[in-house]
Amino acid sequence: MTWARRVVPAAAAALAALAARDLVQRDHALLRNFPILGRARYLLEAIGPELRQYIVAGNNEERPFTRDQRRWVYASAKQQNNYFGFGTDNDIEYTPGYPIIKHRTFGRAVPPSTPAAGHDVRLPCAKVLGAARGRAGAFRPESVVNISGMSFGSLSGNAVEALNRGAALAGCLQNTGEGGLSPYHRNGGDLVFQIGTAYFGCRDERGRFSLDRLRDLVAGAPVRALEIKLSQGAKPSLGGLLPGAKVSAEIAATRGVPEGRDCVSPSRHAEFSDCDSLLDWVELLAAETGLPVGIKSAVGDLGFWRELTDLMRDTGRGVDFVTVDGGEGGTGAAPLIFTDSVSLPFQQGFSRVYTLFAERNLHERVVFVGAGKLGLPDNAVVAFALGCDMVNVGREAMLAIGCIQAQKCHTDTCPTGVATQNAWLARGLDPARKAVRAANYIRTLRRDLMKVAEACGVEHPGLIDTDVVEFLDGRTGSTPLHEVYGYRPGWGLPAARDRAEIVRLMTGEAPQGGTAPPSPTAVG
């Protein structure tokens, strides 16, 4: 009994001290929100490989991101060892559609034999955004990896701030999402301002688009481009609703809506009704702000894209960039039928859109951005080979700042404070600490993309062509990427002048003779 009287109070005091430590530390949002109890998660994570080997799921069985994929993001964000040992556990030979990247023995780009540890690879876009149409604010994005549109309202203010600070550290762009430009977006990172169907942040008292308010907004914030959101992969052609209970004073001020009342996003824009009026609006926004203007859309019926590209070819009006979101995208809550079955997956949707632009000789005048699980190196390499100039990362960036794939984004109960407006849960996410992890992840992805480009014999991921990738048909056959999607020679690559300039930027030297470098297929 004497022993028990001493041990129990000591144990209680130790637990209280541990709980106090968890509440005040800033590295782990889960522990701040769930002291002591949250440690069970990290214990299970630590012994997860052993448990899975005998009891639970395999490394590649969970979705939307497998354990291996999440482990790679987490380790990259924390600057831990993100290598994998003992070979692949993917069933390569019996997985039709599995992508294989073909390295080259010899090539133009020779990778360094001893790359510096933690080296931040500079990977600017191979095209100058807005230059083809002479926009006053045309610029070359500093990073081919940027942060997707995720609104303040869907994400907590702390999460938005962490991503913006991370964008500043990594030198990349952050898309605001359609929820307006909040104070949390003003922490040093450059922005792409997304204009959705409700015109949040640039609407008048009646809820209509206000050009004056848009001009004032972009004049007072580091907005580098405007993106008109037509649809997104998670819920194409579906509007949205933020219940009044979640419309706080901050969200109301950011979006320009009444506090405490339901906030509705229509399924269609009111400022245009067809491709012709859309292009008129694009040109109006570009002329009034001087900024490059693009569109974001998931891909369904190709009639819209045919009409758009025909008008761009015939009238001279046009968008400066196109963001294609795959149906596997998931940063918006939606009915199951939409998440599972509406809109084409990224590769099919993007290749069809790119083909229409290329057939009309417009592909070199537009910057193509891909989204939809492209924050993983293998998916991103295929995207660049298909013609992407940049990729946007959404859920992968959420994982980098603490998301544990609890899949509670739509419930306002995200345990790590990423996708919630619950003040207690959001407080667990420390923006300054998580910003570093977001930047680490983006830098690591860029570095891996550069390593693959060098293995393929080229100086930049944007110079990887469709001959580099093949899809397995099974154990005994494979099909080159260009045959799978019907690409013609030269499709998927920037224009000759852009190829020459990106080589100069990456190497610090002008290409021989001042001309564009040859296609990698000609190098051998």
Which pLDDT does position 232 carry in this prediction? Answer: 72
Instruction: Choose among 514, 491, 274, 265: nearest CA to 388.
Output: 491
Q: Is residue 130 part of a domain?
A: no
Name the token pair of 71.
């482990």
Tell me the pLDDT tens digit for each residue of 380-414: 999 999 999 999 999 999 999 999 888 888 888 89
**What are the angstrom distances between the C-alpha of 77 and each of 11, 58, 171, 394, 472?**
35, 23, 16, 14, 31
Q: In whole angstroms, what is the distance from residue 468 CA to residue 466 CA? A: 5
3 pLDDT above the threshold of 80: no
Q: Is residue 403 part of a domain?
A: no
Number of DSSP helices (H) and strands (E) in the chain, helices first = 19, 13
Task: Give the residue with greater pLDDT, 139 vs 29.
Answer: 139
pLDDT bracket for residue 327 (50, 70, 90): confident
User: Is the CA virtual torsion 453, 457, 460, 465 positive or negative?
Assistant: negative
Q: In whole angstroms, what is the distance from residue 154 CA to residue 409 CA? A: 8
User: Is the CA virtual torsion 109, 115, 116, 120 positive or negative?
Assistant: positive
Name the token pair of 88.
């692949």
Which pLDDT does position 511 carry in this prediction? Answer: 46
Q: Is residue 47 part of a domain?
A: yes
How many other β-carbons are positioned within 10 Å of the β-carbon of residue 292? 29
Tell me the pLDDT tens digit for each residue of 417-447: 999 999 999 999 999 999 999 999 999 999 9
Say which amino acid occupies 329: G
Indicate the range of 14-18, 344-348, 394-398 predicted with least confidence: 14-18
Q: What is the mean pLDDT of residues 186-195?
A: 97
522 pLDDT above the threshold of 50: no
Domains: count for the chain: 1
54 pLDDT above the threshold of 60: no
pLDDT bracket for residue 512 (50, 70, 90): very low
Residues above pLDDT 90, as percent of the chain: 61
Instruction: Choose among 210, 216, 160, 218: nearest CA to 187.
Output: 160
Which pLDDT does position 488 carry in this prediction? Answer: 96
Average pLDDT, the chain: 88
In Å, the largest CA–CA distance within the chain is 92
How many other β-carbons are positioned within 10 Å of the β-carbon of residue 316? 10
Tell me which residue has tokens 């849960």. 425
pLDDT bracket for residue 110 (50, 70, 90): low
The whole domain housing 39 covers 1-56
pLDDT bracket for residue 82 (50, 70, 90): confident
Q: Is residue 333 part of a domain?
A: no
| Residue 450 DSSP code | H
Q: In whole angstroms, what is the distance from residue 176 CA to residue 199 CA? A: 12
pTM of the model: 0.89
Phi, psi dihedrals of residue 368, rounded to the nearest 5°? -100, 130
pLDDT bracket for residue 57 (50, 70, 90): low
Instruction: Choose among 446, 327, 310: nearest CA to 390.
Output: 446
Indicate the range of 16-25, 311-320, 368-377 predicted with least confidence: 16-25
Q: Is residue 41 part of a domain?
A: yes
Q: What angle do CA 298, 301, 303 make, to 5 degrees?
A: 115
245: helix, strand or coil: helix
Residues above pLDDT 70, as percent of the chain: 88
Q: In whole angstroms, what is the distance from residue 127 CA to residue 141 CA? A: 8
Tell me the pLDDT tens digit for each residue of 478-503: 999 999 999 999 999 999 999 999 99
113 pLDDT above the threshold of 70: no
Q: In whole angstroms, what is the distance from residue 515 CA to residue 168 CA? A: 34
Which pLDDT does position 295 carry in this prediction? Answer: 98
Q: Is residue 140 part of a domain?
A: no
Task: Give the residue with greater pLDDT, 267 vs 436.
Answer: 436
Tell me the pLDDT tens digit for each residue of 234-244: 555 666 777 77
Which pLDDT does position 338 carry in this prediction? Answer: 67
Sequential DSSP letters for 147-202: E----BTTB-HHHHHHHHHHHHHHT-EEE--TT---GGG-SS-EEEEEE-TT-TTS
Burial group, residue 108, by CB count within 10 angstroms (0-12, 13-18, 19+): middle
Say which amino acid occupies 370: G
448 pLDDT above the threshold of 80: yes
Which pLDDT does position 109 carry in this prediction? Answer: 73
Q: Is residue 231 part of a domain?
A: no
Q: In whole angstroms, what is the distance from residue 515 CA to residue 524 CA? A: 19
97 pLDDT above the threshold of 90: no
Burial group, residue 250, by CB count within 10 angstroms (0-12, 13-18, 19+): middle
Task: Give the residue with greater pLDDT, 98 vs 194.
Answer: 194
346 pLDDT above the threshold of 70: yes
Q: Is residue 511 part of a domain?
A: no
Q: Which residues pair with 145 in a beta bridge?
A: 391
Tell me the pLDDT tens digit for each residue of 63-77: 787 888 889 999 999
Task: Give the residue with greater pLDDT, 105 vs 116.
Answer: 105
